[in-house]
């Protein structure tokens, strides 16, 4: 696996950018750390940079993708769902144990 030099920089909010140069071109990958322990790197957008500053529309697009990711996660796992599932599992185990 080829090693490459990269630098991370905070963009705004939970957005970060990884900057690297490869074969004479500069690239940026926008990402956020997600998950209960912030150990999942969620890549949101990548570009071949031609200017010094990240365009606002690219940052907004990454922000929107992060918000969409979080909305979908809440829809799949609404607050209290894990607790309700745990309680349901306990009831099933009690019934099995009592038979």
Residues 77-93: pLDDT tens digits?
Answer: 766 655 554 444 444 44
Q: Answer yes or no: is pLDDT of 94 > 50.
A: no
Residues 7-31: pLDDT tens digits?
Answer: 899 999 999 999 988 888 889 999 9
* Apex 56 CA angle, 54 and 62, nearest 5: 85
Residues near 11 by beta carbon (within 8 Å), at least 6 away in sequence: 17, 30, 54, 59, 62
Supply the pLDDT for residue 91: 43
Q: Euclidean distance between the first and final Cα of the chain, in Å?
A: 56
Could you state, in order of their start, the residue ranges of all structural domains in the chain?
6-98
Residues 31-59: pLDDT tens digits?
Answer: 998 887 777 888 888 889 888 788 999 99
């Amino acid at each position: 696996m080829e090693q490459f030099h990269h630098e991370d920089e905070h963009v705004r909010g939970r957005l970060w950018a990884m900057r690297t140069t490869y074969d004479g071109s500069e690239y940026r990958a926008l990402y956020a750390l997600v998950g209960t322990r912030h150990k999942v790197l969620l890549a949101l957008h990548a570009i071949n940079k031609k200017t010094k500053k990240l365009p606002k529309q690219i940052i907004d697009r990454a922000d929107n993708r992060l918000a969409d990711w979080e909305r979908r996660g809440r829809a799949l796992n609404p607050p209290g769902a894990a607790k309700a599932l745990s309680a349901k599992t306990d009831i099933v185990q009690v019934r099995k144990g009592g038979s």
